[in-house]
Amino acid sequence: MAYGTEALIPVEVGLESYQTEVYSMETNSFGLRANVDLLEEERETAHQRNMKYLLQAAHHYDSNIKKRSFRVGDLVLRELVAYMPTKQGKLQPNWAGPYKVIEVVRPEIYKLETLSSEAIKNT
């Protein structure tokens, strides 16, 4: 297929075939113009199908996530990569702690302190 029309091999051009007998320049150009007019609709349909797929994929992956929220006084671990990215090595631990939650700033954002009541910066 080339631009919505069938390609002809050189033998078909020289010989009489149904495709060469039925070919009409006006009908062909009208059909090509109709295809161009419908192109934007096809693009929109493909975009909607793609967005639907992305939403389904996101829903599938998000279904395995368990939401957790902490309250003041809970003990938590802190990920080392978040505040020491250059000190992270292959054999280094991934988590530090335990730390105590002293304030809930907003969902999933907490202020922490050590168990000896020293405030932790940039939490």
Within-domain flag for 5: no
Inside any domain, residue 18: yes
Residue 84 main-chain phi, psi, to 5 deg: -140, 65
- Same domain assignment for residues 117 and 77: yes
**For 35-57, what is each residue's pLDDT tens digit?**
777 888 889 999 999 999 999 99
**Same-domain pairing of 15 and 57:** yes
* pTM of model > 0.75: no
Minimal CA–CA distance to 96: which of 86, 109, 111, 81? 81
| Domain total of the chain | 2
One DSSP character per residue, 23-47 reads --HHHHHHHHHHHHHHHHHHHHHHH
> Tens digits of per-residue pLDDT, 90-112?
787 888 889 999 999 998 889 99
Indicate whether 104 belongs to any domain: yes
Hey, CA dihedral for 48, 51, 57, 61, is it positive or negative?
Answer: negative
User: For 9-33, how does the pLDDT look when each residue is reduced to its tens digit (9 = 90+)?
Assistant: 776 666 666 666 666 777 777 777 7
**8 A C-beta contact, residue 105 and residue 111:** yes
Token pair belonging to 32: 């090509």
Residue 83: band (very low, low, confident or very high) from pLDDT cuts 50, 70, 90: low
Same domain, 56 and 79: no
Q: Evaluate if residue 5 carries a pLDDT over 70.
A: no
Q: Examine the domain organization and report whether 26 and 44 are in the same domain.
A: yes
Which residue segment(s) compose the domain that 103 sits in? 68-123
Same domain, 82 and 57: no
Assess whether 75 and 117 both reside in one domain: yes
* Cα Rg, the chain, nearest whole Å: 32
Could you tell me if 81 and 106 lie in one domain? yes
